[in-house]
Amino acid sequence: MPKDHGIGASQKRREDVRFLTGRGRYTDDINLPGQAYVAFVRSQVAHGILKGVDTSAAEASPGVLRVFTGKDFEGVGGLPCGWQVTDRFGQPMQEPAHPVLAQGKVRHVGEIIAAVVAETYEQARDAAEKVVPDIEELPAVVDMRAALADDAPKVHDDLKNNLCYDWGFVEENREAVDEAIRNAPHVTTLELVNNRLVPNAMEPRVAIGDYNPGTDESTLYTTSQNPHVIRLLMGAFVLGIPEHKLRVVAPDVGGGFGSKIFHYAEEAFCTFAARQLKRPVKWTAQRWESFMSDAHGRDHVTKIELALDKEGNFLAVRTETLANLGAYLSTFAPSVPTWLHGTLMAGNYKTPLIYVNVKAVFTNTVPVDAYRGAGRPEATYQLERVIDKAARELGMDPIEIRRKNFITEFPYQTPVALVYDTGNYHCTMDKLIEIADLDGFEARRKASEEKGLLRGLGVNCYIEACGIAPSNLVGQLGARAGLYESATVRVNATGGVVVMTGAHSHGQGHETTFPQVIAEMIGIDESMVEIVHGDTANTPMGMGTYGSRSIAVGGAAMVRAAEKVIAKATKIAAHLMEAAPEDIELKGGEFIVKGTDKRIAWGDVCLAAYVPHNYPLEELEPGLEETAFYDPANFTFPAGAYACEVEVDPETGKVTIDRFAAADDFGNVINPMIVDGQVHGGLGQGIGQALLEGCVYDENGQLLTGSYMDYAMPRASNLPFFTVDHSCKTPCTHNPLGVKGCGEAGAIGSPPAVVNAVIDALHRAGHTHVTHIDMPLTPARVWQAIHG
Amino acid sequence: MYEFEFARPTSLAEALAALKAEDAQPLAGGQTLIPTLKQRLASPSVLVSLSAIEELKGVRREGDTLCIGAATTHAEVAREAAAHYPALAALAGGIGDPAVRNRGTIGGSLANNDPAACYPAAVLASGATVVTNAREIAADDFFQGLFTTALEEGEIITEVRFPIPQAANYQKFEQPASLFALVGVFVARFADGVRVAVTGASEEGVYRWESAEEALSKEFRPDALMGLRMNPANMIHDIHGTKEYRAHLVGVLTRRAVAAARG
Amino acid sequence: MAQVSMTVNGKPVTGEVEGRTLLVDFLRNGLGLTGTHVGCDTSQCGACVVHVDGRAVKSCTMLALEAEGAEVKTIEGMANPDGSLSVIQQAFQDHHGLQCGFCTPGMVMSAAALLAENPKPTEAEIRHYLDGNLCRCTGYHNIVKAILAASGQDVSIAAE
């Protein structure tokens, strides 16, 4: 019988009721009395000298309260970067200033030149059209290789060049790797592009700044995955507002996928303008603004070489990557192509020698930062593609070559710094073969052939590192933030529990899963537990939700706080029952003196804590509320094996995903239904990257895919039902729940499966000249590859 | 959107009078016009809605002709034309998405003449007649290039009359983002010959593929197109497909349309 | 400004709007019915889908004045009269057909329109009908499954 309660139960989500009845409270649903609206004037050129901005006509436009330009922000800090990468020569990365409103230059289409605040949005928009920027256009730098040329125009005049950093990892391995590749019996080489993506959470970003002159307090309502991080960055580094005078609220948030981690100019602007105007100032992104102002994802160009012996044992991996950072450093941008990418290049395999080189480049494009998977999809894609190519070259089965190289003993120290605490890659591969019905492939292939379609099978593995930590280590790696998580567990006098977590739910279902853990620990019903998140005023300082960290780090913090609560409650129970605390156990919502029939209900103990008449006041404070900060000892390492079957129409090049199976090891699982849903969503995004999505700039830095008319989002009709399984469980060894995180797996593991499948289909049909096609595998590209 | 006045007349005569105002513009289903207004790419002084004019709505059959009121939505055409002209109904049922089909109208689509829209292919391949408040315009004369038609200022489409072919089929290869046609081919076989119209492909908008018509008029089989190749020179080239790819698709889709029309 | 009157979720309403006021803005800002969302500006995402005279339309691509005299139904009007979730809403919860919830109102409205037209749609028909509704969270798996379930059909085809 599946559980219906506590850890492991597929409980229905409590948050669904409000979302299904139109009672969610998203940021744009908030309207404050006296609210004004801002329309931003955004650069229409990618690169130019901003000689001046004529705001006079806009200022005279009806309803306008004030027009802001870069001049108004001269005394204000720039948007900070939260991670400093050190290059392979020991030097810090080049770190340009990142003004809130453009100062002196514009560096990408969409950069904010001016902001018009008016009584209504349409008035602000009307007036914004009357703002006249005086821009001397400069040649744009779009292509990364061109950006690194000696004579390339510089995105930032005060930097040496457009190279943010040249990172080598592990630098000490460089020569050994070179030598291994020189001497290897076989080297497979692949050059590929990891296509630039636009995150496209369905809720566009919104910011509302509010200011109370009576108390000198500012409040920002924003679509954020991490309100405390925004409070810290914006308060301390941009606007100089002390944290106790600044509240950041991220209410219901309509998806993030990384794009709502970062501190954006619009947030700082609305907070700043509200203080200036002493009125609330609201901005709601139009989707066209999202395309040119939300941080983009991926955008790597990579050459990977895999050295093997004749038996297919991996000897060495060497990669060279150009990573596009866009025009400015977004909050965590430098970490993505480095520590979140290079460290994953061992994959699931015992490759002894690995060297990763990454050159991160400034271009006149929207800043690029973490997007679902963040560095790990880029690592997985190149590795799993080159392995597939190598198997083909050596005439080996793609599954067997992987199995041959699997890491099987744990803990395992990779040559790229990580220590995998646990895993079982054969288990997920075995499970995949079963759930994907690989034995039935040949029959399905024949059926496709009869319809004139080419069926192919792509298989790959992935590993990811979640819950990035510990803080002291990431500090050494350049992080300018801690990566712990926090929770306060407050028990009310009548036994109900409120958990205030620093994690933030924007679709992950924390309001359902976190109570399942508390319910399991105490033995009470989930309905007695409430989760509070998303408001710096009533949650402890936390780092928020990204990188599949909520349950592994935030959940662990909650467990630690709950353990403290239970320890104290046990002492109270011991006092009430006149027993020793060590003789008492908490079971089914009751404290029981072991070996006796003496018991006292959870609620009675809680009441005693707040009505401490019969209470050991000399030893214990009244009340029952504890806070814990949890800083993990290591990452967690979810891993799995994925299989994709496609049908390719050889006449049109159209690829249809017919089947997709995912076998994952997430360690312990709190709510299997929600985990399935997380995997489904990741698969949708990964398949979207593989087949449909691609952000394209022209050579002048104009965004060609600036709306849903040209940027192809996956639709229901592009995807099949998925077959997912997470019954292989190797629990994480170092967090109290044994959990690993599941939010990004689907997006990390699926792109290579799709591409491998298409290449397989073409090879089976005799198109053996096609060794690679860059994503997205549009019909035109596939057709071109067949006929090219 | 810029500010504009709004009028919603209930008769054609009132609509025509309202459209006499300077910079007045008719509003059909609005599924293209409203997004255009949101982008501030148009600034009408008055928008004259055609949605309340009953005389512009409905599907009726007159002998071998199917007459469709200009303000009839795609969804209504999909439902009501199905028994009379299935290929046309199927085309209408494949435009955009269901919510778009509940608002968008045939008249609005034709007047806009988007080079990737579906309806122009049906109208041209069927040799339909576009009826306006002022005159009747043959399909061959109506479409005049990208977003350009024979319509005069203030002239509005009232009805489209489709001769019903013996057999017909529309093959649409979707542009995956917009769901417009990357290439769409409508093949219609009449007693006196076959007409083939192509949308989405050409820089000059919807056009007839005459050599295919000639070949198919002799022999209405996919094989009749063997050896025929669309010249890519005037094809659209964009991020979704090259000229060569579009030219190739025209051939593939025409063959498929013929095969499907043969049943 | 002009006056517009319509029936929203069974209640007659009247409001002052501009010619350029979209139906969605009238619902959200004029009536405070914030369940209907805006996710794009090119009429693709479908977060704004409502029913006008029984048909699904994108309320971000319809002027408020075009709804004069119409019967409009929004997500706020979808629950049963006693406040419990309707069959479709319940199926979305039962099958985890939503995550962040932002696209959900439009999904539910489209699903209701589909089942009104076609009470037993196939999987392919459901997927095709959702061409105008984008979801970034679910990969659509559980949305399609929920709609199959709401139509009383077997959902075993959608393995977990």
% of chain A residues with pLDDT over 90:
97
- Asked if B104 contacts C62 with a C-beta cutoff of 8 angstroms, the reply is no
The single residue listed with the structure tokens 């499970």 is A431
- Token pair recorded at residue A168: 């080598």
Predicted pLDDT at A1? 64
Q: Residue B222: is the preceding peptide bond cis (ω within 30°)?
A: no
pLDDT in tens, A679-725: 999 999 999 999 999 999 999 999 999 999 999 999 999 999 999 99
Our measurement of the distance from residue A127's CA atom to the centroid of its chain's CA atoms, rounded to an integer in Å, reads 37
Residues 6+ apart with CB under 8 A from A91: none
Strand partners, A186: A308
According to CATH, where is 1.10.150.120 located in chain C?
Answer: 87-150
Q: Which residues of C touch A509 (CB under 8 A)?
A: 99
Which DSSP helix (H) or strand (E) runs through B6?
Answer: strand B5-7
Q: Do B103 and C44 touch (CB under 8 A)?
A: no
Q: How many domains does chain A have?
A: 3
- CB of B65 within 8 Å of a chain C CB? The answer is no
pLDDT in tens, A319-372: 999 999 999 999 999 999 999 999 999 999 999 999 999 999 999 999 999 999
Q: Would you place residue B255 in the very low, low, confident or very high pLDDT band (cuts 50, 70, 90)?
A: very high
Q: Which residues of B touch C18 (CB under 8 A)?
A: 3
The reply to whether A310 and A275 lie within a common domain is no
pLDDT in tens, A264-322: 999 999 999 999 999 999 999 999 999 999 999 999 999 999 999 999 999 999 999 99
Sign of the torsion formed by the C-alpha atoms of A533, A534, A538 and A543: positive
User: What residue in A sits closest to C132 (Cα-Cα)?
Assistant: A715
The reply to whether A114 and A236 lie within a common domain is yes
User: What residue in A sits closest to B116 (Cα-Cα)?
Assistant: A709
Q: Would you place residue A261 in the very low, low, confident or very high pLDDT band (cuts 50, 70, 90)?
A: very high
**Residue A268 lies inside a defined structural domain of this protein:** yes
Instruction: Kindly report whether the global pTM for this prediction surpasses the value 0.90.
Output: yes
Q: Would you place residue A469 in the very low, low, confident or very high pLDDT band (cuts 50, 70, 90)?
A: confident
Our measurement of the distance from residue B2's CA atom to the centroid of its chain's CA atoms, rounded to an integer in Å, reads 28
- Asked if A753 contacts A660 with a C-beta cutoff of 8 angstroms, the reply is yes
pLDDT in tens, A93-117: 999 999 999 999 999 999 999 999 9
**pLDDT average, residue stretch A763-788:** 97
According to CATH, where is 3.30.465.10 located in chain B?
Answer: 55-163
Q: Which CATH number fits domain C87-150: 1.10.150.120, 2.120.10.30, 3.40.50.1820, 1.10.287.130?
A: 1.10.150.120
- The candidate with the shortest Cα–Cα distance to A414, out of A510, A339, A348, is A348
Q: Which fold has domain B5-49?
A: 3.30.43
Cβ burial of B8 (10 Å; 0-12, 13-18, 19+) is: buried
What are the φ/ψ torsions at residue B46 (nearest 5 degrees)? -135, 135
DSSP A192: E
Predicted pLDDT at C159? 62
Contacting chains of B (3 CB pairs or more, <8 Å) are A, C
- CB of A783 within 8 Å of a chain B CB? The answer is yes
Q: How far apart are the first and last CA of chain A?
A: 56
**pLDDT average, residue stretch A135-147:** 98
The single residue listed with the structure tokens 């109290």 is A736
**Where is the domain boundary, A613, A630, A647?**
A630
3-state helix/strand/coil string of B75-132: HHHHHHCCCCCHHHHHHHCCCCCHHHHCCCEHHHHHHHCCCCCCHHHHHHHHCCEEEE
Mean pLDDT score across all residues of chain A: 97
CATH of the domain at A733: 3.30.365.10
- Token pair recorded at residue A601: 């209900």
- Asked if A131 contacts A55 with a C-beta cutoff of 8 angstroms, the reply is yes
Predicted pLDDT at A72? 97
DSSP A233: I
Q: Do A780 and B240 touch (CB under 8 A)?
A: yes
Residue C160 has pLDDT above 60, yes or no: no
CATH of domain B167-262: 3.30.390.50
3-state helix vs strand vs coil in chain A, percent to 5: 30, 25, 45
Which DSSP helix (H) or strand (E) runs through A558?
Answer: helix A556-577
The reply to whether A761 and A626 lie within a common domain is no
- Asked if A483 contacts A557 with a C-beta cutoff of 8 angstroms, the reply is no
Predicted pLDDT at A251? 97
Distance in angstroms (rounded) separating the CA atoms of residues C117 and C106: 17
**Residue A4 lies inside a defined structural domain of this protein:** no
Amino acid B240 reads H
**pLDDT average, residue stretch A157-186:** 97
Predicted pLDDT at A481? 87
Q: Do C102 and A202 touch (CB under 8 A)?
A: yes
Q: Do A704 and B239 touch (CB under 8 A)?
A: yes
Distances (CA, A) of A598 to A379, A585, A607, A612, B168: 58, 11, 18, 21, 85
Q: What b-and-e string marks burial along A209-245, b requiring 16 or more CB atoms within 10 Å of the CB?
A: bbbeeeeeebbbbbbbbbbbbbbbbbbebbbebeeee
Neighbours of A738 (CB within 10 A): 19
Q: What is the DSSP string of B46-73?
A: EEEE-TT-GGG--EEEETTEEEEETT-B
Predicted pLDDT at A3? 86
Our measurement of the distance from residue A519's CA atom to the centroid of its chain's CA atoms, rounded to an integer in Å, reads 28
Coil, helix or strand for A270?
A: helix
- The candidate with the shortest Cα–Cα distance to A756, out of A638, A679, A657, is A657
- CB of B4 within 8 Å of a chain C CB? The answer is yes
Alpha carbon of A13: minimum distance to chain C alpha carbons (Å): 7
pLDDT in tens, B16-67: 999 999 999 999 999 999 999 999 999 999 999 999 999 999 999 999 999 9
Residue A66 has pLDDT above 80, yes or no: yes
Q: Which residues of C touch B27 (CB under 8 A)?
A: 63, 66
- CB of A698 within 8 Å of a chain B CB? The answer is no
Coil, helix or strand for B8?
A: coil
Predicted pLDDT at B83? 97
**Residue A478 lies inside a defined structural domain of this protein:** no
Helices and strands per DSSP (H, E), number in chain C: 5, 5
The reply to whether A227 and A101 lie within a common domain is yes
Count CA atoms closer than 13 A to B11's CA, side-chain side. Answer: 3
- CB of C66 within 8 Å of a chain B CB? The answer is yes
Q: Do C20 and A22 touch (CB under 8 A)?
A: no
Alpha carbon of A103: minimum distance to chain B alpha carbons (Å): 27
According to CATH, where is 3.10.20.30 located in chain C?
Answer: 2-77
Q: Which residues of B touch C46 (CB under 8 A)?
A: 97, 99
Q: Do B249 and A126 touch (CB under 8 A)?
A: no
Predicted pLDDT at B207? 97
3-state helix vs strand vs coil in chain B, percent to 5: 35, 25, 40
Distances (CA, A) of A124 to A106, A220, A782, C42: 22, 20, 46, 21
H helices present in B103-230, as ranges: 106-112, 119-126, 139-142, 210-218
Q: Which residues of C touch A687 (CB under 8 A)?
A: 139
What is the architecture, at CATH level 2, of domain B55-163?
A: 2-Layer Sandwich (3.30)
Which residue of A453, A711, A778 to mutate against B (max B Cβ within 10 Å)? A778
Residue C111 has pLDDT above 70, yes or no: yes
Q: Which residues of B touch A780 (CB under 8 A)?
A: 240-242, 245
- The candidate with the shortest Cα–Cα distance to A309, out of A177, A185, A181, is A185
Q: Do B241 and A122 touch (CB under 8 A)?
A: no
The reply to whether A313 and A406 lie within a common domain is yes
pLDDT in tens, C27-46: 999 999 999 999 999 999 99
Q: Do C131 and B179 touch (CB under 8 A)?
A: yes
Angle among Cα A469, A472, A474 to the nearest 5 degrees reads: 50
Q: Do C63 and B99 touch (CB under 8 A)?
A: no
- CB of C133 within 8 Å of a chain B CB? The answer is yes
The single residue listed with the structure tokens 């409430």 is A530
A:B CB pairs within 8 Å: 47
Q: Would you place residue B263 in the very low, low, confident or very high pLDDT band (cuts 50, 70, 90)?
A: confident
Amino acid B238 reads D
The reply to whether A326 and A397 lie within a common domain is yes
- CB of A719 within 8 Å of a chain B CB? The answer is no
Distance in angstroms (rounded) separating the CA atoms of residues B84 and B60: 9
Q: Which residues of A touch B240 (CB under 8 A)?
A: 710, 778, 780
pLDDT in tens, C70-108: 999 999 999 999 999 999 999 999 999 999 999 999 999
Asked whether the ipTM of the predicted complex exceeds the cut of 0.85, the reply is yes
| Nearest by CB: C57 against B5, B8, B99 | B99
- CB of A702 within 8 Å of a chain B CB? The answer is no
User: What residue in A sits closest to C37 (Cα-Cα)?
Assistant: A203
Domain region containing A73: 27-138+202-255+260-293
CATH of domain C2-77: 3.10.20.30
| Nearest by CB: C42 against B35, B98, B102 | B35
Q: Do B179 and C43 touch (CB under 8 A)?
A: no
According to CATH, where is 3.30.43.10 located in chain B?
Answer: 5-49
% of chain B residues with pLDDT over 90:
99
A:C CB pairs within 8 Å: 196
Q: Which residues of B touch C124 (CB under 8 A)?
A: none
Q: Which residues of C touch B100 (CB under 8 A)?
A: 43, 58, 61, 132
Neighbours of B214 (CB within 10 A): 14
Distance in angstroms (rounded) separating the CA atoms of residues C94 and A16: 10
Pairing of the two strands B181-190 and B193-199: antiparallel
Distance in angstroms (rounded) separating the CA atoms of residues A81 and A83: 6
**Residue A154 lies inside a defined structural domain of this protein:** no
CATH of the domain at A73: 3.90.1170.50
Q: Do C65 and B6 touch (CB under 8 A)?
A: yes
| Nearest by CB: C139 against A24, A680, A717 | A680
Which DSSP helix (H) or strand (E) runs through B13?
Answer: helix B12-18
